Structure 1
């Protein structure tokens, strides 16, 4: 199986991002996956420090239960579960058939360019 990797981008022009993703999908080889946010506010609103901690704790560990994940980050199971739901909706974590959680990406790159208005 190919190692999966993710590029996180900030592009207000979501249509351009869709066109780029369509071109990548037509390639013969795996080109990685892209998660785009329309603004820095949306990015930082969805990916807080505690959620990043969860992603980092799950990355490369294979399937973990939410309880194991909560233990590894030193947080309450209920709060970690709430964050896992959001991270799974974003595609940074995946739920397994047995109810566990895993981070499918061996690497992630954040492509962010901020410019004065």
Structure 2
């Protein structure tokens, strides 16, 4: 299986991001996956420090139960479950058939360019 990698971008023009993803999909080799946020506020609102800790902890570990993930980050299971739901909706974590979670990406790159208004 090909190692998967993710690029996280901040692009206010979501249509341009969609066009770029469509062009990458035309290539014959795997180009990685892209997760785009329209603004830094949306990015930081969705990917909090505690959620990043979950992603980093799950990365490269294979399937983990939510309870095991909570134990690894020393957090309450209920709160970890709530964060896993958000991260799964974003595509940073995936739910398995047996109810566990995993981070499918071997690497992630954040492409962020902030410019003075």
TM-score band, normalised by shorter chain: over 0.9
- The equivalent of 1:32 in structure 2 is 32
Match of 1:108 in 2: 108
Q: What displacement does 1:38 show? A: 0.1
Task: Report the CA distance between 1:63 and its aligned residue.
Answer: 0.1
CA-atom RMSD, angstroms?
0.2
Question: What 5-or-longer segments of structure 2 have no aligned partner?
Answer: none
CA distance in 2, matches of 1:24, 1:100: 31
Matched with 1:15 is 15
**TM-score scaled by length of structure 2:** 1.00
Q: Deviations over 1:35-79 (max 9, x none)?
A: 000000000000000000000000000000000000000000000
1:72-111 mapped onto 2 (5 Å cutoff): 72-111=72-111
Residue 44 of structure 2 is matched in structure 1 by 44
If the length of structure 1 is used for normalisation, what is the TM-score? 1.00
Aligned residues: 117
Q: Secondary structure at the match of 1:60?
A: coil
Mapped partners of 2:51, 2:92: distance in 1: 10
Measured in 2, the distance between the counterparts of 1:70 and 1:93 equals 14
